[in-house]
Amino acid sequence: MARIIIVDDDVELADNTAALLRKHGHEVSTLNTTEDAVRKIIKIDPDIAILDVMFPDNAAAGFDLSRQIRNTKATKDLPVILLTGINQEFPMDFSSKDVDPDWMPVQDFMEKPVKIQALLEKMNRLLKNPGKK
């Protein structure tokens, strides 16, 4: 069992993903804004974070939050999976090795809506090897 935090402005998607993960025995918390998110993440102390990219007030909030997580001492080693609903809008492979890890300090990427089995596989892999991209 892992403790997971989901940060997504789409309440329905966040809740559904949380429900699916709970069915698989994980402990899941959700946040629907990135405001004060790092402090809340520290308080929850999750094993893994799943972040959406686009929020209503900031189209790159997920990128910003992933950098804040990496630059905060308490969360710098937290594995992060980014939900990239925007990868079809941009001809860019976010999971490419060429993506600068300082610009995008996350361990993995998934397209929304997540397929639960694929998400579980990625999570298990990351929890075993947290540093691997």
Partner 1 sequence: MGSFRLDPVPPSSETMPRADGLTGAVLLHNARWFIRIRWIVVSLLTGFGVAGSLLDPQVARHFGFLPPGPWPLYLAVILTILNLTANRWARLLSTRTTWRWVAANIWFQIVTDLLVLTALVCLVGSTSTIIGFTYLFHITLACIFFGRRDSFLVTLLSALLFLAAVTAQCAGLIPCMGILAGAAREAPDILAAAVFAIPSVFVWMIVWFLVSSLSDTVRQRDHALEAANQRLIQADEKINLQMLRVTHDLKAPFSGIESNIQVLKLSHWAEMPEPVRQIISKIDARSIALRARIGDILMLGSLRSTQAGGRVAKPVKLLELLAAVVHDVHELAAGKRVSVALAATDTRVLSDPEQLRILFSNLISNAIVYSHEGGTVDVRINEEAARVKVSVVDQGIGISEKALPHIFEDFFRTQEAATFNANSTGLGLAIVRQVANNLHLCVVVESEKDKGTVFNVFIPAE
Q: What is the distance between the alpha carbons of residues 7 and 55, in angstroms, rounded to a whole number?
A: 10
Give the residue with the Cβ less far from partner 1, 21 or 78: 21
**Separation CA 1–CA 9 (nearest Å):** 25
- Cα angle 130, 9, 31 (rounded to 5 degrees) comes to 55
Pick 90 or 103: Cβ nearer partner 1 = 90
Any contact of residue 133 with partner 1 (CB under 8 A)? Answer: no
Count of residues touching partner 1 (by CB under 8 A) = 21
Window 9-28: contact mask with partner 1 (x via CB under 8 A): -x-xx--xx-xx--x-----
Is the Cα torsion angle 9, 15, 20, 22 positive or negative in sign? Answer: positive
End-to-end CA distance of the chain: 22
How far apart CA 84 and CA 63 sit, in angstroms, is: 10
**Please, which of residues 62-121 interact with partner 1 by CB under 8 A?**
85, 88-93, 96, 98, 112-113, 115-116
Closest separation between CB of residue 118 and partner 1, Å? 11
CA distance 63 to 52: 9
| Region near partner 1 per CB under 8 A, out of 7-15, 26-34, 35-43, 72-80 | 7-15
**Least distance in angstroms from the C-beta of 88 to partner 1:** 4
Judged by the rule CB under 8 A, the positions of this chain that interact with partner 1 are: 10, 12-13, 16-17, 19-20, 23, 85, 88-93, 96, 98, 112-113, 115-116
